[in-house]
Amino acid sequence: MSAAAIEQPFDDEPFSLTAIAEEIMERHPGYRVEIIGGHLLVTPSPDAPHARALTGLMIPFIAAGLHGEETEVLQNVGLWLPTGAEDYAIPDLAIVDADIDDHLVENNAYDPVCFRLVLEVTSSNWKDDLKTKAVAYAQAKVPVYVVVDRRHQRVHVLTDPNGETYEHHRPYSPGETATLPDSIGAEVTLDVDQILKAAQKKTD
């Protein structure tokens, strides 16, 4: 995770992390900026394997009928967090209630009550996905959190949020399949080998 230093343009205005986040995004197009626990998280543009993994992950969700009248499968939609006045996250992928448009809070971020699952594919800042965001999503009571951990070649499924943690955390290794809770709206089984292979750079 990295970002160029920015000047403080708010000499006569109240300090605003949201304003700083917007300036970073203006100066560095393609960067994703989130505010979690009162801290800015800045992620560079995803590489092709990251995007390929997300496309592959959408297929079983859509095939299970999760992109329809009751739920939708969306990428990069803001999730308003209860951890601070300006806090929000932007999960790579989410399964949300179809009435999400009715739950806009502000800053293009939506009430966590309409999120059934959030999913992250790790980048260089993999610790944020495994630790910082796990706490934030648990506090937001998102029922299911999935992490495709490209660094350690694992798929993590976290369920049953309780306070700052998820009561159940199951890492899956290559060769295994991960069946997600049917609380997301349908039964979905993920092929760990297939996911991790898609998330790797192609070689000749």
Q: What is the pLDDT of residues 91-120, one digit of tens each?
A: 999 999 999 999 999 888 999 999 999 999
Q: How many CB atoms lie within 10 A of CB 117?
A: 27
> Residue 5: its pLDDT value, please?
39
pLDDT digits (tens, 9 = 90+) for 133-158: 999 999 999 999 999 999 999 999 99
Enumerate the H helices of the chain as residue ranges. 17-27, 48-63, 126-127, 133-139, 192-198
Q: How many CB atoms lie within 10 A of CB 68?
A: 13
- What percentage of the chain exceeds 90 in pLDDT? 68
How far is residue 97 from each of residues 73, 161, 184, measured CA to CA in Å?
Answer: 9, 18, 10
Quick check: 30 pLDDT over 70?
Answer: yes
Whole-angstrom distance, CA of residue 125 vs CA of residue 92: 14
Enumerate the H helices of 6-125 as residue ranges. 17-27, 48-63
Q: DSSP letter at 130?
A: I
Mean pLDDT over the full length of the chain? 88
Whole-angstrom distance, CA of residue 89 vs CA of residue 80: 7
What is the pTM (predicted TM-score) of this model?
0.87
Quick check: 11 pLDDT over 70?
Answer: no
Sheet holding 165-172, edge to edge: 71-75, 93-97, 115-121, 144-149, 154-162, 165-172
CB-based contact 192:173 (threshold 8 Å): yes
Q: Which residues contact 135 (CB under 8 A, 6 or more apart)?
A: 37, 164, 165
CB-based contact 115:135 (threshold 8 Å): no
pLDDT digits (tens, 9 = 90+) for 53-95: 999 999 999 999 999 999 999 999 999 999 888 899 999 999 9
